[in-house]
Structures are given as structure tokens and as C-alpha cells.
Chain A
């Protein structure tokens, strides 16, 4: 316990040093101090923006498109991953298409999505889902392929039908790798949501940051960036916590 307290103190000291470096960069003029407001001013701006301000609405709007986009990717990715793992013929036939699409960074397709769907929530949701489906699809597939064949044989011996085998054996066994893919996807979804907002002016963190920058509200811009970091951190923590609590059988948790 004392060691934990000591480590926490060191961590806080490390953050304090980072803040001090920031202030030093301002004071010494390494970067134009007008571009680099003081940390106190940034924290104040973040608090004001979040307390019923415009920043709070921007964060809510981003979460509002991030959630359904990721949900869509989770459903389609899980279904696709299971299908590819259980139907070898489908996997073989679609492999060239998947290998063709995989190296293309999804953000490069934003202009294509703009052409086909135009500006709006629909296009944003499509881009979020399209970008974040890949880690979910491939890790679910790996998870299903890794199901111990003895489990499947046991299921067969117990006269479980194919659908019962999928629900009671394949899904629980593949859930941990699905969850890992979902966690990776959650970060990608956030990046794509913000990028689309920056490019199209769709309400959210991305357009908020661009607007305050263009209006010269530098402190507000930095506040929004650091709030976005907190959001990314909280999302990851949420996923890790849920994974630990819900899936005690996951290999990541087995040793604990």
C-alpha cells in the first residue's frame, strides 16, 4: 500500500514536471506564448466549457455519433467474424476483397463517402462504422478459430444443434478477443468521428476545435484538446474495466 502511495506520488510529480516544462517553454519563448496559454488558464477554460458550456455540447455530440457508429461496427464485425471463421468457403472467396480493403486507411474514403452520402450524420456514422469494423472483424474471427475443438466435440456429444453450439460455446469462447478488437475499434472510431467533424463541420469536438482556432480562442482550443484526451482515456478505462468484470474467463484475466 505504501509502495502504491509512493508510486502515485511519483506519477503526480511526473505530471507536475510536464506542466513545469510547459510553463518554461512559455516563459523562455521557445514557442510564441500567445500560442501556448498558461496551464491554469487552460484548466479554467476546460471547466467553464464543460460546465454547461459549448464544449460540453460538442463532447455530447461526438459521443452521440461515436456510440451508434461503434455499435453498428460491433454487430456487423462480430457477425462477419463468426461467419468467416465457421464457413471456410466464404472466407476463401472473400479473402482477396478483404486483403484489398485492409491496407486502405479508412479516412482516405471520407471524400468518397462525401460523394455518395453527402454531408450529414448518415455519412459520419457510415465512416465511423466502416473504419472501426476491421479490428472487430479480424479479432472475432481469430477468437472463433481459436475455440478449443474439444469444446465443440463436447457440444456435439451433448447433442447441441449448430445454433446452440454457436450461442453456448463459440460466443463465450470468442468474446474476449471480440472485446479486445472492440477496444481498439473504440479509439479508431473516436479519431474518425473527430476527423469527419473537422472536415464537414458536423457538430462535435472536431468542428468545435476548428471553430475556436479560427476565431483565435487559443485557450479554448487547448482546453478542448486536453478534454478530448481525457475522453479517450475514459473510454479505454471503461472498456478495460467492463472486460475484467464481465469476462473472468478471458485469458487476460485467468491468472489473476
Chain B
């Protein structure tokens, strides 16, 4: 806990850095005009234009749709497979080597193959996004499921829960904290794969928008597109943290309790 007065100085420092950098950029843009140094006002204009009207429909929404569908597919598949893998120990030696190989294939390398099989469609982009982001979720879910307190499982068994019920009502909640950390990693990978798939093969979406504007030398729009992608990443990360805080509210107290009991 710091006293309030102590927090004003850091804030002033931070504000000063930001103002100085923005001022430096603007000064450089006005005195040394260059293609890659557009005035800040034009970047802001481009940014605002991306959030409504035609560009919202042709750039932002297609990207968001692909990102959300791909990430959701990765979460569902990763959770299901990971929890099965973590609970059914005998399965692990059978699939582990295959998984350990597949997860090191850079998802970009898969893209041309997906392009061949699916064509330049949304299916292809969603597949690539899901392929890239499924592994962190899967590994985190496996890890979480494996660490479930055996006492909980025994209680569930004694209470007469079937295997499926045990997996959904005991293992899944217990693995959630680990799953969430996996989803955070998956989110950043999904965003990268969304951009790459739109840079290489798309005719709409934010990746296509920034690449086309780069070819037209509309640099302010390129920066605006990059900022929009950053905004999406930031908003989704914050949303995820908020969901995590809500869903896992029980976890913090529960963990504290068991840790003190074990002394």
C-alpha cells in the first residue's frame, strides 16, 4: 500500500513520456514528411473510420468473426481432448509423441496446405486459427486435469457419478484455472494467425486492409489498422481476465484454505 501522494509522481512521469513521444512524432511528421511518418491526426481519422460504416463491415467484423470462431473451436476441442487425456492416464503414452510433434509445426506452415484443401475461404482461416491456438489450451487442460485432488475423485465415485459426470462436474471445474492460463496464450496466438491468414490469403479483414493500404502507400491507414488489431487484443485480454475473475472466484478462497490446512 502506497500513500496517495507517492502515486502522483509516477503518473506524471508516464504522462510526460507519452506526451513527449506523441509530440516528437508529430514534429517529425510535420518537419520531415516521409511515407512512413503520417501526422497523428490522419492516423486517428483512419482509426475512427475503421469502427463504423463500410470498413466496420469489410474489415473489422470479418476479422472478429474468424478470430472468435477459431478461438472458440480451439477452446472446445482443447478442453475436451485435454480433460480426456489428463483423466485417462493410460491414453497419454499413446498420443503424447504425436501431439508433441504436431504442436511444434508452426501454424503458418500449415496455411498453404489449408489453402489447398479448403480454398481461400473462411473455413481455411478458421482452421488455421484453431490449429495454432488449440495446443496451449489442450496442454493446459491436460495438466489441470491431471492435478485434480484424488480425494475429490473418490468422493465423486462414492457418490455414484458416472465417468462422464465426473469429468464434467469434478475434473473440468478443477482444471479451469489452468485452462484459463492456456486460453490467454491461445488468444494471442489466435490473433497472430488471424492477421497472417488475412495477409496471405483474403480479400477482406484487417490483415488484408493493412496490406492493401501499404501497397497504396496510405500509411496512416496502415497504422490505424495495426492499432485496431492491438485494440482487439487488449479488449479481449481484459474481457478474458474479467471472466476469469468471475468464474474462478471460488478458486482463490478454496486454494487458500487447502494450503493452510496442509501447513
- Which chain B residues in 126-140 approach chain A with CB under 8 Å? none
CA–CA, A233 and B100, complex, Å:
8
Cβ A103 vs Cβ B234 within 8 A: yes
Interface residue A198 (Cβ < 8 Å from any Cβ of B): yes
Neighbouring B residues of A7 by C-beta, 8 Å: 93
Contact across chains for B116 and A226 when beta carbons are under 8 A apart: no
Which B72-106 residues sit within 8 Å CB-CB of chain A?
93-98, 100-102, 104-106
Return chain B residues, CB-CB under 8 Å to A226. 105
The segment out of B52-60, B189-197, B253-261 that lies at the interface is B189-197
Q: Give the distance to chain B from A187, nearest Cβ to Cβ, in Å.
A: 7
Choose from A11, A107, A190 the contact partner of B199 (Cβ within 8 Å). A107
> Which among B110, B112, B222 has the greatest number of chain A C-beta atoms within 10 A?
B112
Docked complex Cα distance between A111 and B206 (Å): 12
Segment at the interface with A among B13-21, B141-149, B155-163, B166-174: B13-21
Count A/B pairs, Cβ under 8 Å.
Answer: 155
Which segment, of B175-183, B224-232, B243-251, faces chain A?
Answer: B224-232
Q: In this assembly, does A155 line the interface, its C-beta being within 8 Å of a C-beta of chain B?
A: no
Say which residue of B18, B35, B93, B230 sits within 8 Å of A97 (CB atoms).
Answer: B18
Q: Choose among B35, B94, B112 the residue that contacts A11 (Cβ–Cβ < 8 A).
A: B94
Q: Check B199 against A225 for contact (C-beta < 8 Å).
A: no
Q: Assess whether A103 is in contact with B233, with CB atoms less than 8 Å apart.
A: yes
Q: Return chain A residues, CB-CB under 8 Å to B196.
A: 107, 195
**Measured between C-beta atoms, what is the minimum distance from A111 to chain B in Å?**
4
Partner of A228 from the list B10, B95, B96, B106 (CB cut-off 8 Å) is B106
B214 to chain A, nearest CB (A): 4
B188: which A residues are within 8 A, CB to CB?
Answer: 105
The 0/1 profile, CB within 8 Å of B marked 1, for residues 217-228 of chain A is 010011011101
Q: Quick check: B98 and A104 within 8 Å, CB to CB?
A: no
Q: With A194-B109, A229-B109 in contact, do A111 and B210 touch (Cβ < 8 Å)? A: yes
A 36-53 binary contact with B (CB < 8 Å = 1; else 0)? 100000000000000000
B115 within 8 A of A: yes
CA distance A183 to B39 in the complex (A): 38
In the bound complex, CA of A230 to CA of B226 (Å): 32
Q: Does B40 interact with chain A (Cβ within 8 Å)?
A: no
| B217 and chain A: residue at smallest CB distance | A115
**Which B residues touch A89, using CB under 8 A?**
13
Interface check A213, CB cutoff 8 A: yes
Residues of B within 8 A of A224 (CB): 109
Q: Residues on A close to B: CB < 8 A?
A: 6-7, 10-15, 17-18, 31-32, 35-36, 89, 92-97, 100, 103-112, 114-116, 187, 190-191, 194-195, 198-199, 205-206, 209-210, 213, 218, 221-222, 224-226, 228-230, 232-233, 235-236
27 contacts between A and B (CB under 8 A): A6-B93, A11-B93, A12-B97, A15-B97, A15-B101, A89-B13, A93-B17, A96-B18, A104-B226, A105-B191, A105-B229, A105-B230, A106-B192, A107-B192, A108-B229, A111-B211, A114-B214, A115-B214, A115-B222, A198-B200, A209-B109, A213-B115, A213-B116, A224-B109, A232-B104, A233-B101, A235-B104
Residues of B within 8 A of A (CB): 10, 13-14, 16-18, 21, 35-36, 93-98, 100-102, 104-113, 115-117, 188, 191-192, 195-196, 199-200, 206-207, 210-211, 213-214, 217, 219, 222-223, 225-227, 229-231, 233-234, 237
